[in-house]
Amino acid sequence: MKTALITGISGQDGAYLAKFLLEKKYKIIGLDRRSSRSDSWRLNYLGINNKIILEYSDLTEISSMQRIFYKYNIDEVYNLAAQSFVASSFNTPISTCDVNALGVLRILEIIRNSKKKIKFYQASTSEMFGKVLKSSQNEITSFNPQSPYAISKIFGHYITQNYRKSYKIFACSGILFNHESPLRGEEFVTRKITVGLAKIINKEIDCLYLGNIDSKRDWGYAEDYVKAMWFMMQKKVANDYVIATNQSYSVKDFINEAVKYYGLEIFWKGKGLTQKAINKKNNKIIIKIDPKFYRPLEVNYLRGDARKAEKILKWKPKINFRKLVEIMSKADIKRHLKVENN
């Protein structure tokens, strides 16, 4: 039985990866940080809360992480913990870098000093490409970061490569493009939309306020993507891989696709900041732009080229954009109707 340590176990990817590795008969140690909210809702949602050993620690504190490595015979580390909300990184750049950049180095130092050969996975991101000059991005595309988050992740990415080359540690990075699911945090735009539309239908709110809806992303399904992490860790030689669907859609495309599942018909008026979505049935505005959701610097367009992963890992996404919107919308409609019935 292999033992995996997953940092960020309480997050979207941590929960799905834990479920996947449990199916592969791994023993799972989840690194969790104390919080005033008891936040195991994702593990509960997947029904795996009592199948995981939770250990309290923090990526900013090397000694408590060291204790976990001493206590368990860890084979594989999946470093998914991060301050992962790009918008927040403009408000908290220092703590973002402490966790997302130095946090990676702290774990790599523990592995470097360990007698045991421990494999390491780093959660890198398409945000590192930032303001792109090419129509699609792969493992050799240069980085042009636009946020403290992206810059912190570039440190994590390069230090992972550096430890791989310097100390022959099996250390790989997955450069994952946006991936979503019913377990996505509600502050991210896809979930904000699917939850927001459910609240509009339920008459909890009249209107949803968003930022730059012309922004385009390569959106995949989180459950597909965590499998790619594991595939990378099973290769003989560590390497870095882009994981993406190779398709790009705007936030507005996501809305246009989602409204169908809520029985809504909308039309758009205006441009840029004056754009609004109007309910055809009653002429009421249901989506408006609020400049407060714009970022000081934006990444306008991303589209991945995951041919390397397809060829070497034999990985391909199963869920496309339309199916993803359907899964997320249906899950939030179900959740909100449940609340109403209670």
Enumerate binding residues for ligand NDP (CB under 6 A). Answer: 7-8, 10-14, 33, 35, 39, 58-60, 80-84, 99, 123, 125, 176, 178-179, 185
Q: Which is nearer to ligand NDP, 92 or 279 (CB)?
A: 92
Stretch that binds ligand GDR, among 14-22, 34-42, 186-194, 318-326 (CB under 6 A): 186-194
Contacted by 189, from ligand GDR, ligand NDP, none: CB < 5 to 8 Å by type? ligand GDR
Q: Which of 266, 256, 257, 255 is nearest to 192 (CA)?
A: 255
Contact 4, 74 (CB under 8 A): yes
Name the minimum Å distance from CB 202 to ligand GDR: 20
What is the smallest separation between the CB atom of 146 and ligand GDR, expressed in angstroms? 10
Is there a catalytic annotation at residue 125?
yes
Closest residue to ligand NDP using C-beta atoms: 11
The least distance separating ligand NDP from the CB of residue 281, rounded to whole angstroms, comes to 34
Task: Specify the DSSP element, H or E, that contains 53.
Answer: strand 53-56
Q: State which of positions 247-266 bind ligand GDR (CB under 6 A).
A: 251
**Contact flags string 73-112 toward ligand GDR, x per CB under 6 A:** -----------x-xx-------------------------
User: What is the 3-state composition of the chain as percent helix, strand, coil, each rounded to the nearest 5?
Assistant: 45, 20, 40
* Closest alpha carbon to 24 in 229, 220, 211, 187: 229
Report in angstroms the alpha-carbon separations of 56 from 10, 59, 76.
12, 10, 18
Q: Of the candidates 230, 217, 100, 229, which has an alpha carbon nearest to the alpha carbon of residue 175?
A: 229
83 binds, among ligand GDR, ligand NDP, none (CB under 5 to 8 A by kind): ligand NDP
Q: Which does 11 bind (CB under 5 to 8 A by kind): ligand GDR, ligand NDP, none?
A: ligand NDP
Residue 295 touching ligand GDR (CB under 6 A): yes
Pick one of ligand NDP, ligand GDR, none as the site partner of residue 14 (Cβ within 5 to 8 A by kind).
ligand NDP
Out of 149, 221, 241, 261, which one is annotated catalytic? 149
Q: Give dist(CA 60, CA 57) in Å, integer.
A: 9
| 187: exposed, middle or buried (Cβ count in 10 Å: 0-12, 13-18, 19+) | exposed
Secondary structure tally for the chain: helices H, strands E: 12, 15
Nearest to ligand GDR of 30, 130 (CB atom): 130
Q: Tell me the backbone φ, ψ of residue 12, rounded to 5 degrees.
A: -55, -55
Catalytic residue check, 127 = yes
- Interstrand relation of 285-289 and 276-279 (parallel, antiparallel or unpaired): antiparallel
Please enumerate in sequence order all residues whose Cβ is within 8 A of that of 310, keeping only pairs 6 or more positions apart, or say none. 316
Question: Quick one: 179 or 252, whose CB is closer to ligand NDP?
Answer: 179
Residues noted as catalytic: 125, 127, 149
Q: Which residues are near ligand GDR by CB under 6 A?
A: 84, 86-87, 125-127, 177-178, 187-189, 192, 210-213, 215, 217, 251, 293, 295, 298-299
